[in-house]
Amino acid sequence: MRLFVLRDGLVRPRLSEFEVAVLKLVPRLLADVGEPDGDAAAERLTPQVHPDDPERSAEFRRLAADMIHGTRQADTATLAAGLDRVASGEALTLEEAAGWMRALAHARVILGARLGIEEDGWEADRAASAADTRIGVLHLLGHMQDDLVAVLTGDL
């Protein structure tokens, strides 16, 4: 079953109480990211744009960091603001749904970094999935993000 559907130009979530509760954890997760030199999640969110040229990478960060951080904060705020409305049955605009999609992408990057996921294929490790609930959350956020992408691209 799809967790999000497009109807009348609005994205209508069909989320359980549990799924809404998981989403309510995302803004806190996004707010807990530290600085790139000490937090694996921050490093993954701000990769070296020019790996062979640290000076150029530093210049890119200097020029773009405020814009990237501002967009990430705006997406987090959009998600947080929409959660109570969605829990009461309201729909999201296409712009809000796009912000949710980006916030979920950032949350997945953060969780992946903190779990030490470095390569494709991590999903196959069922023992790790059973031992760490964060992997279950990572799967759920991925499912939500996939549904939002499908709704926003018309790929239903």
pLDDT reported for residue 135: 86
Number of Cβ within a 10 Å radius of residue 117: 19
Q: 26, 141 in Cβ contact below 8 A?
A: yes
pLDDT reported for residue 119: 74
- Residue 121 above 70 pLDDT? no
Whole-prediction pTM value? 0.86
- Residue 84 above 90 pLDDT? no
CA distances to 7, 18, 102, 153 from 10, in Å:
5, 23, 17, 13
List pLDDT tens digits, range 22-43: 999 999 999 888 777 778 888 8
Domain ranges of the chain: 4-153
- Residue 118 above 90 pLDDT? no
**Which of 83-87, 103-107, 120-124, 138-142 shows the lowest per-residue confidence on average (mean pLDDT)?**
120-124
pLDDT reported for residue 134: 84
- Residue 151 above 80 pLDDT? yes
Instruction: Select from 39, 42, 45, 101 the least CA-distant residue to 76.
Output: 101
Q: 43, 53 in Cβ contact below 8 A?
A: no
Residue 9's H or E segment, with its range, is none
pLDDT reported for residue 107: 95
pLDDT reported for residue 3: 94
Location of structure tokens 């779990």? 115
